[in-house]
Structure 1
Amino acid sequence: MLAKNALHEIKKSLDGLIGERVLLRANGGRRKTIERTGVLEETYPSVFVVKLDPADGSFKRVSYSYADVLTETVELVVCRDGGQVRVPPTQA
């Protein structure tokens, strides 16, 4: 039940960030890390969607599950004027 609550907390924190510019770091497999910027476009019950900045003039969307954030397969960093904030906030 603890994991379900953690997933719900991640979704709630992302709900308040819709429309924000984010830096997305994802595990691309075989020691590759994909790093792209975009806008958090939408959250759904099981996944969230990021509209990526155009690399070659075309727009692309990617979706990841909240479990990807929980297991740190995907890292989201909100880019604001005052700096960057990791989602969910790291607990010290």
Structure 2
Amino acid sequence: MACSIQSIRQRVARYKGNTVRYRATKGRRKTEERRGVILETYPCLFTLYVESQHSKVSFSYAELLTKEVELELIKDNARTSEYL
């Protein structure tokens, strides 16, 4: 299956409300890794509620396509996980 923005958008929308772990590249050898809940999906971006900071962050679907951001679905707080 070809990976496109449309397929990524549909996959993120399917897991709306679920807990994910995200890893975002922030520049020169800096990465941010946190846990959050997918709040909303919009045509060009999606938002996460970050539990540890009590704040929202947003990412574009293009960042997932280019691997600047990685999402890992956490199932029932277990060790089984799935990458989006």
* TM-score, normalising length: structure 1: 0.83
RMSD: 1.4
Give 1:54 deviation, angstroms: 2.6
Provide the aligned length of Structure 1 versus Structure 2.
Answer: 81
The structure that has the greater radius of gyration is: 1
| 1:1-92 alignment runs, 5 A limit | 6-55=4-53, 59-81=54-76, 83-87=80-84
Q: Which runs of 4 or more aligned residues in structure 1 lie more than 3 Å from their structure 2 counterparts after TM superposition?
A: none
Q: Distance in 1 between matches of 2:10 and 2:61?
A: 10
Residue 90 of structure 1: aligned partner: none
Q: Is the 8 A contact 2:17 2:38 kept in 1?
A: yes
> In the alignment, is the contact (CA less than 8 A) between 2:35 and 2:52 conserved in 1?
no
SS in 2 for 1:45: coil
Q: Report the Cα distance in structure 1 between the residues aligned to 2:26 and 2:45, rounded to whole angstroms.
A: 18
Distance in 1, matches of 2:29 and 2:6, equals 29
Q: Percent identity?
A: 37
Cα offset, 1:28, TM superposition: 1.1
Displacement of 1:30 after TM fit?
Answer: 1.1
TM (norm. structure 2) is 0.90
Unmatched segments (≥5 aa) in structure 1: 88-92
**For the residues of structure 1 that align with 2:4 and 2:26, how far apart are their CA atoms?**
24
Counterpart of 1:20 in structure 2: which amino acid? Answer: N
Residue segments in structure 2 that go unaligned for 5+ positions in a row? none
